[in-house]
Structure 1
């Protein structure tokens, strides 16, 4: 059985590159992330391709605007078939609640499945120097947990957060709250532009529900072997 806790990031500009990687990985991977780079370049056609392949799609556009704009934007994106969408938690409680409520209502009115809605807490590229430069007086960890609790209160299904904050979020928000963890790198891999990272096993042990992995698979000499190695490590944590 495919481990759908692994989400492979499709950080490409062109659908042709997506098709090559997805076909290479075959049945070993069932969940893919489509971010700004790809969606802004290719649009909904890449989601259509992935759904035709029977894959789950995390549409990672991190909406952040006034409540009505975010809510209507999500409703527009919903019809494209993504399974998971997100907003920035820093947009606040009213924005998140408006988005969650209206998305669920629109899905019910159209008779389609409502995608899961999660909120980005603090980007995993943010380090302590960046954080202090924003004038924040609390720690990154404290703010992440505060935003996660706010997202749950607003009716969202979960959050995006680094592995360093996962255990605290799990304790604060309970066992059914989704925690999607980017910045996951197998032991020995380059950290690239991430600051708060973890190995697949440690992220799951801390309480993550899904792991986002990009370069360690995409840039590997043998992407399928790299994906299978990560999945094997994940399967050691139930």
Structure 2
């Protein structure tokens, strides 16, 4: 049986911290790694090259949000780096998302697979109250998320970033093959931290998440490798 890999959020400050973390794993174990703004802005494209040379899959989590032409040009460059997944903010609009996918297709080397493109709906750190107050979006948060998901699919994107709480309604509003990547995943009993809408790995699987992102419960664990494999097990086989 093919095992789905949890995506490990490497929220580190520099490459040295990444090297120290990865050194704890068997060199043959191919991981799915998320590189966020903090690490990418410190290390640049070389961190992607380093991880790809080790055989890991890379989700470059930069959440692009700019005018359509700028995002398209950026995506052309990101596609050439060989990343496996990238994202944009759905709030950037239909045309921006459409040009983002065009940029990826244009930038992907011949014979290579185009990176998966997903859109952020509402951040899992955003509560409904936050959305009403800060964004002046006065509908229930689920309505906002589903609306963004529909627009992302219409623009040709592969899926969205969303809370596991919203996966089922997104699948109903789009289709079962529309990817739902869910951050805010915590093992049972773990600290919630700054996430507001969370689920355990097995709960996310039952709800229908296609990818889960886990950071601190692995990277800050006393035994990160053991923590990773427990989450891997729960994600694939948990009750």
TM-score tier, shorter chain, comes to over 0.9
Q: Hey, what does 1:170 align to over in structure 2? A: 171
Taking structure 1 as reference, are residues 237 and 100 closer, same or farther at Cα in structure 2, changes over 3 Å only? Answer: farther
1:125 is aligned to 125
* Paired residues for 1:11-160 under 5 Å: 11-26=11-26, 27-28=28-29, 30-107=31-108, 110-133=110-133, 134-160=135-161
Deviation at 1:81, TM superposition (A): 1.4
Alpha-carbon offset, residue 111 of structure 1: 4.9
Distance 1:203 1:172, change over 3 A: same
What runs of 5+ residues in structure 2 fail to find an aligned partner? none
Distance 1:212 1:85 in 2: 14
Unmatched 5+ residue regions in structure 1? Answer: none
Check if 1:5 corresponds to 2:10.
no
| SS of residue in 1 equivalent to 2:209 | coil
Please identify runs of 4+ aligned residues in structure 1 that moved more than 4 A. none
SS of match in other structure, 1:32:
strand
Moved more, 56-65 or 69-78: 69-78
Separation in 2, partners of 1:120, 1:56 = 20
User: 2 CA distance for matches of 1:88 and 1:43?
Assistant: 21
Contact 2:185 2:200 in 1 (8 A): yes
Residue-pair matches, total = 237
Deviates more, 1:111-120 or 1:64-73: 111-120
Q: In the TM superposition, what is the alpha-carbon distance from 1:25 to its structure 2 partner?
A: 2.8
TM-score norm. by structure 2 comes to 0.94
Q: Deviations over 1:105-132 (max 9, x none)?
A: 3326x55431111101100000122112
Alpha-carbon distance between aligned partners in 1 of 2:79 and 2:44, rounded to the nearest angstrom: 13
Q: Give the Cα–Cα distance (whole angstroms) in 2 for the partners of residues 125 and 31 of structure 1.
A: 22
Pairing 1:198-209 to 2, within 5 Å after superposition: 198-209=199-210
